[in-house]
Amino acid sequence: MPFYWVISTSSAQDVYCATVDFTAVEKENGVVEFSGTSDKPVVEWYWYFGDNNTSREEKPTHQYNYASDYEVCLKVLVNDNCTGAICKKVKVEKGALSGACDLKADFKYEVNGLILNAKGWTLATQPTLRYTWKFGDNTTAEGAEVKHEYTQKGEYNVCLDGYTSRYNGKQPAMCGNYL
């Protein structure tokens, strides 16, 4: 089941009042064991593994398909007004499908009022031919860098797809962004 980070144009912010950390230990064939910690009792765990997969377990095991560096994020909910978050790079030496289509894409963004500025990039064994954006409001755009103006405040799922010449088509790459 895919998971998408939500980009908000509202002014509400999380209150970070918990200190969290995690460890990651690679086993074999791209399997990595994660373990989260918090200085406060945790109500919910939210893991983002950097490859469009997520978990809500405290100590999840995740299998990566490709060898790469992944930005892994852990966010915890302590209570309604208190969260904690951390992101770290995790290096996977050998993925389960190493040698297949090694396309990984990501993007960074900033929101100013109703304007979203985003810049995407890919790490691929083949050149990226095209970037396609979906802004979560039934509009799309193409290009590595985009500027989009929303008509109203809200939360939107923003997705970036990268297209390469390998396999003659689209390789879905990344939806959302880091915490």
Q: In the numeric block, which tokens belong to residue 111?
A: 């929101």
Q: How confident is the model at residue 20 (pLDDT cuts 50, 70, 90)?
A: very high
- H or E element: which one contains 110? strand 104-112
Query: How many Cα atoms occupy the beta-carbon half-sphere of 166 within 13 Å?
Result: 13
Q: In the numeric block, which tokens belong to residue 177?
A: 């962004």
The conformation of residue 168, written as its DSSP 8-state character, comes to: G
The conformation of residue 16, written as its DSSP 8-state character, comes to: B
Residue in this structure with the two tokens 């980070």, named with its chain if needed: 5
Distance between CA 37 and CA 12 in Å, rounded? 26
pLDDT digits (tens, 9 = 90+) for 132-148: 888 889 899 999 899 99
Residue 76: per-residue pLDDT? 93
pLDDT higher than 90, residue 130: no
Could you give the domains of the chain?
Answer: 6-92 (2.60.40.10), 104-175 (2.60.40.10)
Residue 62: per-residue pLDDT? 95
pLDDT digits (tens, 9 = 90+) for 65-96: 877 889 999 999 998 778 999 999 998 887 76
User: Residue 50's closest CA among 27, 17, 22, 13?
Assistant: 22
pLDDT higher than 80, residue 60: yes
pLDDT higher than 50, residue 28: yes
Distance between CA 92 and CA 68 in Å, rounded? 5
Q: Cβ distance 122 to 162 under 8 Å?
A: yes
Secondary structure (3-state) at 121: strand
pLDDT higher than 60, residue 177: no
Residue 96: per-residue pLDDT? 64
pLDDT digits (tens, 9 = 90+) for 36-49: 999 999 999 999 99
Q: How confident is the model at residue 5 (pLDDT cuts 50, 70, 90)?
A: very low
pLDDT digits (tens, 9 = 90+) for 147-176: 999 999 888 888 887 776 654 444 444 444
**Paired residues of 141 in beta bridges:** 133
Distance between CA 103 and CA 125 in Å, rounded? 7
